[in-house]
Every structure is written in C-alpha cells, then in structure tokens.
Amino acid sequence: MSSQQPRRGARRRPRTALAAAVLGSVVAGVLALPGTASADADTPDVSRLILTPTATPADSQSFTWRSTTAGGGTVQVRPVGGAPVDVAATAVDTSNLAGVDYVHYSATATGLTADTAYEYRVGGGERWSRWRPFRSAAKGAKPFEFLYYGDAQIGLDSTWPAVVAAANAKAPRSAGSVHAGDLIDSSNQVQWTSWFNGMGESAATTQVLAAPGNHEYTGDGALRNWKMNFEYPANHPGPATIGALAERAKGDTDAARQTAAYFAHWENVAKETVYYSDFQDVRFITLNATQNTGYLRPPTLPSCAVDCPSPGPLWVEFQAAWLDHVLTANPNKWSVVTFHQPVYSTSTGRDEPVLRANWVPVFQKHNVDLVLMGHDHTYARGYNNTNATDAPGTTNGPVYAVSNSGAKHYTLAPAGDNVWTRNGATQVKRGQGVTTYQVVSVNGDTVTYRSYVAEKKADSPEPEQVGDLFDSFTITKRGGVKHVTEAGVEPPSADDEQRIKVTVPERAPGELVWSIDGGNGVVDLGTAKRSGDHYAATGSLNPVRVTDTRVDAPRWSLSGRVGDFTSAGKTFSGKYLGWSPFVGENGGDAVAGAAVASGFLSGNGLAESATLGSAPVGHAEGSSVLRADLDLRLPVTVADGTYHGTLTLTALG
C-alpha cells in the first residue's frame, strides 16, 4: 500500500515533470512512497514450506511442504523475471492434525545456475503458494553468514519465535541456519507446527540444516515426522564410506553377521540424519549423536554369543569412520560439524564418553573449524588443551560450542571441576540462564563467530542483558596456518606480512530513494499520426534511477499509473497509453516489469497500476535505472488538442 507521507527508510525527491505530449502531453512525476510490497496470498492448502540444501547447492535445491491436497504436488522454479519450470514432487508421507489430513511433499530442482536469484512456488492446478525468493549458492568461496541455534524445544510458541526474529534482525542476509537438535520437545504434529511457525519465512527462503536430538525420537522412534519434514542429501554412511570398519561385517562369525545386520539397518537410520553439504567453501556436516538402542536395533537380528557388537558404541564408531572419510575428501577451506549431545558436556551430571572417545580424535586430526552442539541447556565455548599456544588469547584447533535457543535451562557444572577440565579441554566462555543465537560470518580467510543474548532468566548470574553480545572470536587461515583469536586479539603475522587495520562503523539503516534522470522530466510524444483506425504516438520514459542502501536488502518495486489526459475541457482515458519496461544500468539487481499494451488493443493499459521494475529480497546494494518505451494508441474519434496527463510513480518496499 502507499501513503501520502514518507515512511522511515525513504527520502522525498523534488516533484518532477515527465511530460507526454500527444497531440502533446505532460506526465508529471509525483512522490514515490515506500510501503509493504504486495504479494499473492498463499493458498490455505499449503503450509510448512522449507528449503533444505542438497550436497551441491550451487546447482540444485530441495523443497518440502505440507498440503491438504492429495492429488500430487509441483514446485515451479524460475530465475527472477524468467519463465517457470515445473518440478514434480514426491508424496513422502501423510499426517493428521485436528482432524485435517495432510500429504507431505518434497522435490529437488536441478540444473540451477550458481549464485543466481530464483523464485519458487508450490501447489498445483489453480491452488498455489505465493512466489518466494531463494538464491543458489556460489561455486567456491563467497562471503556469507549463517545462524547457529541450540535447542528450541521449550517455549515453541513464545521464546522460539522471539529468538528467530532477533537472529534475523541481526543477520537479515543470512544464507541459512544450523540447528543442533531438539527442535521440539515431543515429536507430534502440534509441536512441529509450532516450530515451523516460529521459523516463519526464514525456513521458506533460506537453507535449513538440522541435526536430530533425543527429543526428536520421543514418541517417534523411526523419526517419521523428521523425515516427512526435511529432505537432506543421501550421502550418509555406508560400507563404501566407512573404511576399514566395513571389514567387521565380513566373515561367517556371529559377530560379523550381526555387525552386517546393523550396518544394513543403519543406512536407513542415517539417511537424512547424517549428511553433508558443500556451501561456498564450507563443508557442513551433520551427525546423529542419539544412541537409543530401540531405533538402532534392526527388526531381525542374527543371534550372537561371542564378541557381539554393542549397538550404541558401534553406531558412534560407524559415523566416526564416515566422518574421517568425508573430512579427508573435503575440498573446501572450512568445515563445520553439528550434532546434539556434546562431546564436552556443560551441565551438571551430564557426560558423553562414547562420543568423546570416537569423535574428538577425528575433529582434532582434521582440525575441524567449528563443532556446534546443544542438549545441555547452557552455554559454553572452548578448545582442546592440545591446541593452546604461547600467544595470549590464541589457539590453533577446533572450537567446541554448546548453545541453548529455547526456554529450558539447566545448571552449569562447577567451573573448576567439569567434563571439560577432567578431559583436557578449557572453557573460554560459559553461561547459565541465557538463551542465545549465534551469527557466523564466513569471509575469505576468516570466520567470525558472535553469540547474542535473546532471552535471560531473572536468576541468571550472567552480566549480559538481552540484545548484548555474549561471546565472540575469529578463526583465521592463511598460508596453511590457523589461528583462533579472542575478541580484540590480532592473529600473529607471518614474516612476510604487514597487517593493515581499519574499523568500519556499523551501517546506518539506509534508504530506498528514486529520482528521474535527465532534462526537465518532460516526455514529448509529439503529434500523433493516423494509422488506419487509430492515432499513434511513441516515445521513451525518462530514466528513473532507484537506489536501495537498506541493510536487509528487502524486495522493492516501482509501479506507475496514468490518469486521464485533458485539453481545455476535452479528455481521453489514460488506458490508451501502454509501455514496455526495460532496465538500463543495473547495479541493484533490478528486473523490468511486464509490458502493458495500449487499452486500444486490449485491457485498461496504464489506467491500472503496472510494475515498471522491481528487485528481489537479497538484491545487490546499488542503483538501477528503469526505462520504458511508451505506446499511445487513440481512437480516431478523439478531438484534436494538446493533451496533458500525469503518470504517478509509487515505490513499494
């Protein structure tokens, strides 16, 4: 909608004339006002839309949603401003909530162009969701941010949506989010609906990488709800990717037969719970740390009396062997591993020795950059003591972090005696009674991690308040050398380096402005000429420059509408004017609006508002120049005279 008063984020430009003379006419430009971008409404059939990455998100994208339509589903994908392509969906499963039956669909679009703005909608027939934006990943390194959440679990209708809103306000251009398990408390349709509601549009427009926690199995031992909600890469562990461990399943012994049965069963257990995705020079790896023997045991298991495998430890070792394989083959500069139960527990009475014994050696061997965990409903971040250095505030190995993003809180183990101190690790920062989210920025040679307080218990001992920066550090990799430095600490320089430092202040909110370039703004269509059964005149709209410097790069559009043309008491309708928009200079990712025919041919021409140009969410910061060829066609019955009309331009953003 538009308003007659400028809103915050927009600046008033001088009133400018654009004149169109048809028999001579003037089109006057008036104030362009920001407002809420219009969008087609979602069909009520569709809900729980979510984007999840493939193994190669530079050229493909997965979509999942829930629908009340059982007759099949389709995703339509198009480059912004381009023609849509249909992608048939698969019906994954069904569910029921409050007496309503749903079908859960998933689909994967392939053949995408890297680092390109796309739009998609889901549905079928006459019933579709609205078009939503997403962007394919770049091939190789390109700066981006992602969010890291600990357990949402409790407070799904209160704390969780507030945490997500705060995180998205802090990182409005985030490429996606990493979730370290226990997204819900009990795996039922009510709680999953609440989790999706809390995620809002961020689930439907950015990548979501989630690890299952123990509560995903509560009431759902086969993870049926998980697998109907998420579509993840099928690059999970199997005999070909677990190295020498696969040998244990070979032979005629009871132990070998039972191990083979476990491995065969676990290929399905690991599917969509253990996976990796390569995104802009980062390998994101997700593990399944839950060791409940109920779901680890296959329906039928060969008998075993001697040297029988223990399913929990073997499951952890199974993933460790695969983890070693995918880290050895990692072509990216950075690696991030996410799972639920921590290898270094933080809360009183908790410990995961099997995970620690099997996974920490792999993290240390490959010098994984970030190990992101949840489960303990407290905060802690630190390092393995073997990675300490002589430089204050500097380490050189993996960073281990535990976060809590919900309303459930536990008590920290004592600072001087806990799982970390007893197992050769150091907590740099710890917190109790705080709900946090983390913003992680990846930029060339550096990864910067920042944790913020989203909610705080009244009895929390931490001095930080809601909205404060709670923790931060930077990882730097140059010339094969890695340094993890605390806030305010510079990484050591190599012998051949001189470091240059500059501080850039926080950006202002920015603004969306437009102006008319060139001349006095008059578009003179000259004298209309007879062309068979009508008069015709053509010309070009003066260029309209749109500049958007707002930090969150929201969608904007600029539309135009023409009133009646008048001349000394005579008039004709603005519908007879049409246009064909196009984009000139384009530093802001603008897309031209659709051509509108003169109403003499069909429709109501520019008497109805039409889009001159627009830019999608996440567009580049810069200026774009919008232009249009004008086409006026009049009935021969229009009286002679010099007519003037006004084209009103309205910005929505």
Please tell me the predicted confidence (pLDDT) of residue 125: 87
Query: Domain tally for the chain?
Result: 3
Assess whether 230 and 269 both reside in one domain: yes
Choosing from 104, 138, 172, the residue where a domain stops is: 138
Q: Is there a domain that residue 363 lies in?
A: yes
Assess whether 93 and 234 both reside in one domain: no
By residue count, the chain amounts to: 653
The 10 Å CB-count burial string (b at 16+, else e) for 285-321 is bbbbbbbeeebbebeeeeebeeeebebeebbbbbbbb
Give the model's confidence band at 524: pLDDT under 50 very low, under 70 low, under 90 confident, else very high.
confident
Give the model's confidence band at 422: pLDDT under 50 very low, under 70 low, under 90 confident, else very high.
very high
Q: Which of 53, 57, 116, 140 is nearest to 444 (CA)?
A: 140
Q: Please give the residue range of the domain that contains residue 147.
A: 140-486
Q: Is there a domain that residue 22 lies in?
A: no
SS3 203: helix
At 385-394, the pLDDT tens digits run: 999 999 999 9
Choosing from 138, 161, 179, the residue where a domain stops is: 138
Query: Can you read off the two tokens belonging to residue 180?
Result: 């370290």
Q: Is there a domain that residue 14 lies in?
A: no
Q: Within 10 A of 568 (CB to CB), how many other CB atoms are there?
A: 9
Q: Within 10 A of 18 (CB to CB), how many other CB atoms are there?
A: 24
Out of 17-21, 62-66, 311-315, least confident range: 17-21
What average pLDDT score do residues 531-535 get? 92
At 103-155, the pLDDT tens digits run: 999 999 999 999 999 999 999 888 999 999 999 999 999 999 999 999 999 99
What average pLDDT score do residues 73-95 get? 96
Assess whether 87 and 146 both reside in one domain: no
Q: Is there a domain that residue 561 lies in?
A: yes
Mean pLDDT, the chain, rounded, equals 90
Assess whether 331 and 384 both reside in one domain: yes
Assess whether 118 and 146 both reside in one domain: no
At 171-202, the pLDDT tens digits run: 999 999 999 999 999 999 999 999 999 999 99
Assess whether 124 and 256 both reside in one domain: no
Phi-psi region of 199 (alpha: psi -120 to 50; beta: other; left: phi over 0): alpha
Q: Within 10 A of 580 (CB to CB), how many other CB atoms are there?
A: 16
Q: Is there a domain that residue 21 lies in?
A: no
SS3 285: strand
Out of 16-30, 434-448, 541-555, 636-650, least confident range: 16-30
Assess whether 582 and 450 both reside in one domain: no
Q: Within 10 A of 421 (CB to CB), how many other CB atoms are there?
A: 16
Assess whether 279 and 427 both reside in one domain: yes
Query: Can you read off the two tokens belonging to residue 530?
Result: 């007879």
State yes or no: pLDDT of 572 exceeds 80. yes
Q: Is there a domain that residue 31 lies in?
A: no
State yes or no: pLDDT of 38 exceeds 70. no
State yes or no: pLDDT of 302 exceeds 50. yes
Choosing from 113, 138, 163, the residue where a domain stops is: 138
d(CA 348, CA 325): 34
d(CA 370, CA 424): 18
d(CA 107, CA 62): 6
What average pLDDT score do residues 194-220 get? 96
Burial class (CB in 10 A: 0-12, 13-18, 19+), 635: exposed
What average pLDDT score do residues 218-228 get? 94
Please tell me the predicted confidence (pLDDT) of residue 643: 87
Q: Over pLDDT 70: what percentage of the chain?
A: 91
What values do phi and psi take at 225, rounded to 5? -65, -40
Q: Is there a domain that residue 34 lies in?
A: no
At 582-594, the pLDDT tens digits run: 999 998 999 999 9
Please tell me the predicted confidence (pLDDT) of residue 512: 77
Q: Please give the full DSSP string across 135-146, using - where no structure is assigned.
A: EPPPSS---EEE
Strands (E) across 496-619 are located at 512-516, 529-531, 534-540, 544-548, 556-562, 565-567, 570-572, 577-586, 591-592, 610-615
At 449-494, the pLDDT tens digits run: 999 999 999 999 999 999 999 999 999 999 889 999 999 998 887 6
Please tell me the predicted confidence (pLDDT) of residue 292: 86
Q: What is the CATH number of the domain that holds 548?
A: 2.60.40
Q: Which of 149, 261, 256 is nearest to 209 (CA)?
A: 149
Assess whether 126 and 240 both reside in one domain: no
Task: Report, in this order, helix, strand and coil percent for the chain, each rounded to 5.
Answer: 15, 35, 45
Query: Can you read off the two tokens belonging to residue 206?
Result: 């950015």
What average pLDDT score do residues 335-339 get? 98
Q: Please give the full DSSP string across 295-333, using - where no structure is assigned.
A: HHS-SS-----SSPPPHHHHHHHHHHHHHHHHHHT--SS
Which has the higher per-residue pLDDT, 35 or 320? 320
What average pLDDT score do residues 282-295 get? 93
Q: What is the CATH number of the domain that holds 406?
A: 3.60.21.10
What average pLDDT score do residues 633-638 get? 92
Assess whether 100 and 195 both reside in one domain: no
Please tell me the predicted confidence (pLDDT) of residue 42: 83
Measured N-to-C along each axis, helices 254-270 and 311-328 cross at an angle, to the nearest 10 degrees, of 60
Assess whether 232 and 118 both reside in one domain: no
State yes or no: pLDDT of 534 exceeds 80. yes
Give the model's confidence band at 567: pLDDT under 50 very low, under 70 low, under 90 confident, else very high.
confident
Query: Can you read off the two tokens belonging to residue 5?
Result: 């008063």
- Compute the radius of gyration of the chain from its Cα atoms: 29
Please tell me the predicted confidence (pLDDT) of residue 22: 33
Q: Within 10 A of 601 (CB to CB), how many other CB atoms are there?
A: 12
CA 82 vs CA 40, 79, 472, 592, 613: distances in Å: 18, 5, 42, 11, 14
Please tell me the predicted confidence (pLDDT) of residue 13: 31
Assess whether 90 and 129 both reside in one domain: yes
SS3 202: helix
| Kind and range of the H or E run holding 481 | strand 481-486
Q: Which of 403, 415, 392, 564 is nearest to 484 (CA)?
A: 392
Query: Locate tokens 């250095």: which residue?
Result: 389
Q: What is the CATH number of the domain that holds 83?
A: 2.60.40.380
Please tell me the predicted confidence (pLDDT) of residue 276: 98
pTM: 0.76
Please tell me the predicted confidence (pLDDT) of residue 493: 76
Q: Is there a domain that residue 4 lies in?
A: no
